Structure 1
């Protein structure tokens, strides 16, 4: 802008000057001085550092640039093969799409481009470490590929042992989610570090495609452990379905696209084994399963059930219970599950999806945070407090009132396959 103002003044000078030659000479010198002031871009540093050794296979390529921006990163291995990589959204580093191989030499060339179009390139060569002998942190990605999920489906990653608070930012930086159409969200940890959830402020829009990468293989986690695996999955969000269960009326209301389509009588947990009140998500669906509660408090029975849908790790399911059909709609007699008739359970199996929301109201106990995928059982402003990294602009403000409570602890491991009732 400074150059344009000077040229404008010089144009006026040409009109009043005794000769046009003087004006042209002055203009040319001004342009030359402006070009001299336009410094070329410079890649001042690249990471990993040149000749660095024992680099983790989770390494990313980063650079600092003056008077320009990074426009290309080329990574090759010692056999000349090119390593595919993608930039982070903030442009801070380029992330290989697969873990690097142990004991291999890699070369990275980083090119920066300035506003004038001039470029600068810097190269670094580094060697990855041998295959790690540290104990691995086991991770489970509860988001499979080529599936259709409900609109409340949180992307959930579980860890054994749990991730210490000081290490969560490093782990979270290696968890990637893309949505199409875009619907940005936030990762949020439960306090004991055994699970981390990803969701948006509002439920996913039907038809959204979600691609996930849990890129933890070889990642140093603290001083003692490493990540176990690199997992990817892409799936689609289906129609909107939600269930509301009211203990006061002993009725389940089934909604599709926000419209009530059916009410179903239920029998919830009896006073000694009450059902949980809160916002949960359908996690599993089984046409047939066995509840085996021997060795569990208030358990000790074995029973085969049909059309069972889990929504807590503690063993709460919707399922067919022909033995309690006389109580459904008026009396709670279950061990915590939502008992429905055989015909209703069969119908529900054809309507619901893993990832559909189920809300239970008015029971004697509240849902324990982490007992299932409890990402929706909190308000948005409480939810984002669980992020180990700064929350992106526009996502940190309170975003609604999708529940109450605080994201707490809980085991990511499913209860024994037989639990329920």
Structure 2
């Protein structure tokens, strides 16, 4: 009986002990839920620009998007008839860019959606574009659809009027270049009327270039707007061809993929009309042309020229010069051009491309910036200083490895979208084209 009593007491004690031990480790589930509810999901927001009902906007207007705790998933822009406008986001996700210029005097509605993967937020806005402006700046691009260019071919955009510094960043932001394979680059303002794009090194052979100068309706200062939206898709040659001209021994070396394949004698500009030293680019090729300096200062002449390849706006060419064959490789007798024999002129004409680099050394006269396609006459450190936009960290001179000075012909080798008539693009009507020398 005592034993039973003792067992009963022990059982009661054990029964009392169990809940006491459990209460030291945790509280009942119901209590926990009441004291610590799950956190509310973060609020999602999606703000759009332009503000609703904004009027008289340029036809270059982009849709700005600021999403909080969500990612933009879709943007739909439609005109008053419900017709959708094609476009795409910039890589940084800040704005949506129409694939073509908007229409003048047209109302548009915007519907955008952002989501965190579980919930979505929708935002809308609307705006109306301006009438066609009276003052428009002419634009042109030295890149032509379906053409093949040399590895030093820059992308060059020109303007019929000066673009003030205050408007250059906005203009530059509307210039898109895509390369395959990727080779990011930077724009450089050679002057208020010309901006040039290149990568740190020459394009890789076989590169595909897709360029869009989306300038129609872009404000360009002083109440002026861009006149057109231009595009081009071109290719870089499958080989790297470079010409190196030495005044010291008056020879041209032709390098193919870094290896010398030909050397030929040359006569450069005489003392009173010296050739320029620096890295130029073949800009134009003409099998037959006329050099005419009548009415200009200096020597007056009008002569038929064969196999001419333009290097500068100032009139420096590589061309056939049968009259100076005896001087080639010995003395300089030209008006600034690079004179070669008829046979060598034919060989060069058949083997070179618009866009091939030509580096002249030792004449004592430096190539003038902007006198031709002079992007490669600048070191990368100098080139990036000409951009109106901040330079991406990976393209800063200290980050480019190895640092490249394109004035040297040795080592040689950004992101959405020109114009074209002939297989050999002639200089733009906007550009000065003095007679050759």
**Counterpart contact for 2:57–2:130, Cα < 8 Å:** yes
**Counterpart contact for 1:316–1:420, Cα < 8 Å:** yes
Could you tell me how far 1:224 is from its partner in structure 2? Answer: 2.1
In structure 2, distance between residues paired with 1:317 and 1:98: 39
- Spell out the pairing of 1:206-245 with structure 2 (5 A cutoff): 206-238=205-237, 239-245=239-245
3-state DSSP of counterpart to 1:376: helix
Could you tell me how far 1:401 is from its partner in structure 2? Answer: 3.9
**Counterpart contact for 1:187–1:196, Cα < 8 Å:** yes
TM-score by length of 1: 0.89
**Counterpart contact for 1:305–1:319, Cα < 8 Å:** yes
**Counterpart contact for 1:314–1:415, Cα < 8 Å:** yes
Could you tell me how far 1:364 is from its partner in structure 2? Answer: 2.9
Could you tell me how far 1:297 is from its partner in structure 2? Answer: 2.3
In structure 2, distance between residues paired with 1:20 and 1:71: 46
Could you tell me how far 1:414 is from its partner in structure 2? Answer: 3.7
CA separation of 1:333/1:412 partners in 2, compared to 1, >3 Å: closer, same or farther? farther
3-state DSSP of counterpart to 1:217: coil
In structure 1, distance between residues paired with 2:220 and 2:36: 54
Q: 1:359 — aligned with what?
A: 359
**1:121 and 2:126 aligned:** no
- Spell out the pairing of 1:318-337 with structure 2 (5 A cutoff): 318-337=318-337
**Counterpart contact for 2:86–2:99, Cα < 8 Å:** yes
Which sits farther off after the overlay, 214-223 or 366-375? Answer: 214-223
In structure 2, distance between residues paired with 1:103 and 1:65: 29
3-state DSSP of counterpart to 2:139: strand
Could you tell me how far 1:223 is from its partner in structure 2? Answer: 3.1
In structure 2, distance between residues paired with 1:29 and 1:175: 58
In structure 2, distance between residues paired with 1:142 and 1:368: 19
In structure 2, distance between residues paired with 1:33 and 1:243: 71
Which sits farther off after the overlay, 135-144 or 91-100? Answer: 135-144
| CA shift digits 1:138-174 (9 cap, x unpaired) | 2111111111111111101111212111111011011
Q: 1:52 — aligned with what?
A: 54
In structure 2, distance between residues paired with 1:148 and 1:348: 17
Q: 1:161 — aligned with what?
A: 161
CA separation of 1:243/1:28 partners in 2, compared to 1, >3 Å: closer, same or farther? farther
CA separation of 1:207/1:30 partners in 2, compared to 1, >3 Å: closer, same or farther? farther
CA separation of 1:219/1:31 partners in 2, compared to 1, >3 Å: closer, same or farther? farther
| CA shift digits 1:324-352 (9 cap, x unpaired) | 11111111111100000111111111111
Q: 1:252 — aligned with what?
A: 252
CA separation of 1:30/1:227 partners in 2, compared to 1, >3 Å: closer, same or farther? farther
- Spell out the pairing of 1:25-174 with structure 2 (5 A cutoff): 33-34=38-39, 36=40, 38-43=41-46, 45-114=47-116, 116-133=117-134, 135-174=135-174
Which sits farther off after the overlay, 291-300 or 153-162? Answer: 291-300
3-state DSSP of counterpart to 2:395: coil
3-state DSSP of counterpart to 1:82: coil
In structure 2, distance between residues paired with 1:278 and 1:30: 77
Paired residues, what number? 393
3-state DSSP of counterpart to 2:222: coil
Q: 1:395 — aligned with what?
A: 395
In structure 1, distance between residues paired with 2:148 and 2:140: 19
Gaps of 5+ in 1: 1-15, 406-410
Q: 1:5 — aligned with what?
A: none
**Counterpart contact for 1:40–1:118, Cα < 8 Å:** no
3-state DSSP of counterpart to 2:351: coil
**Counterpart contact for 1:316–1:338, Cα < 8 Å:** yes
Higher gyration radius (CA) = 2
In structure 1, distance between residues paired with 2:113 and 2:177: 27
**Counterpart contact for 2:265–2:328, Cα < 8 Å:** yes
Q: Quick one: higher RCO (CA 8 Å, sep 6+), 1 or 2?
A: 2
User: How large is the Cα RMSD of the aligned pairs?
Assistant: 2.1
**Counterpart contact for 1:62–1:94, Cα < 8 Å:** yes
**Counterpart contact for 2:279–2:360, Cα < 8 Å:** yes
Could you tell me how far 1:25 is from its partner in structure 2? Answer: 5.4
3-state DSSP of counterpart to 2:385: helix
Gaps of 5+ in 2: 1-20, 409-428
**Counterpart contact for 2:140–2:157, Cα < 8 Å:** yes
**Counterpart contact for 1:273–1:298, Cα < 8 Å:** no
**Counterpart contact for 1:279–1:377, Cα < 8 Å:** yes
In structure 1, distance between residues paired with 2:37 and 2:282: 68
Could you tell me how far 1:127 is from its partner in structure 2? Answer: 0.9
